[in-house]
């Protein structure tokens, strides 16, 4: 099922209440950004946040499984619905997903030779 326009608009508006989030639509879904940092994917009217070893346990504790769509997609986990209920909680989870994304990006960058 592709991303519905209503879900896209409502989700983007909800995130913009806590952080300056922008979105880029692609391949029937969308990526969410804070600045240049991609931290979430919207797909099939579900929300998936970027994870690494630091924040993945938060998702696993709520039984949230990985997004299995393309290579490395297991780095994304479905967002527990209760997170959307509180501005403070949502902001914290967005921040932690942005931090995970930054760590993953930094680990991918080749080290420059001196």
In a domain, 112, yes or no: no
User: Which residues lie across from 21 on neighbouring strands?
Assistant: 34
Count H helices and E strands in the chain, helices first: 3, 5
Domain contains 114? no
- pTM of structure: 0.86
CATH number at residue 76: 3.30.1460.30
**8 A C-beta contact, residue 8 and residue 23:** yes
Q: Dihedral of CA 80/84/88/93: which sign?
A: positive
41 inside domain = yes
Q: Is residue 113 part of a domain?
A: no
Q: Between these two residues, 15 and 65, which has the higher pLDDT value? A: 15
For Cα atoms 109, 58, 12, give the angle at the middle one, nearest 5 degrees.
Answer: 75
Using CA atoms, how far apart are residues 11 and 82, in angstroms rounded to an integer? 14
Q: Which domain holds residue 76?
A: 5-107
Q: CA-to-CA distance for 61 and 14, rounded, in angstroms?
A: 24
pLDDT 10s digits, 36-92: 999 999 999 999 999 999 999 999 999 898 876 665 556 899 999 999 999 999 999
Residue 99 inside a domain? The answer is: yes
Number of structural domains found in the chain: 1
Mean pLDDT computed over 13-34? 94
The whole-angstrom separation of Cα 48 and Cα 43 is 8
| Contact yes or no for 32/15 (Cβ under 8 A) | yes
């Amino acid at each position: 099922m592709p991303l519905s326009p209503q879900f896209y608009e409502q989700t983007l508006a909800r995130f913009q209440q806590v952080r300056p989030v922008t979105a880029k639509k692609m391949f029937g879904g969308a990526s969410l950004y804070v600045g240049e940092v991609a931290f979430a994917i919207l797909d099939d009217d579900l929300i998936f946040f970027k994870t690494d070893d630091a924040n993945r346990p938060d998702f696993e504790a709520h039984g949230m499984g990985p997004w299995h769509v393309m290579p490395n997609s297991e780095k994304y986990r479905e967002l527990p619905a209760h997170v959307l209920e509180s501005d403070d909680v949502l902001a914290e989870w967005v921040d932690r997903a942005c931090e995970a994304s930054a760590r993953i990006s930094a680990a991918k960058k080749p080290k420059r030779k001196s």
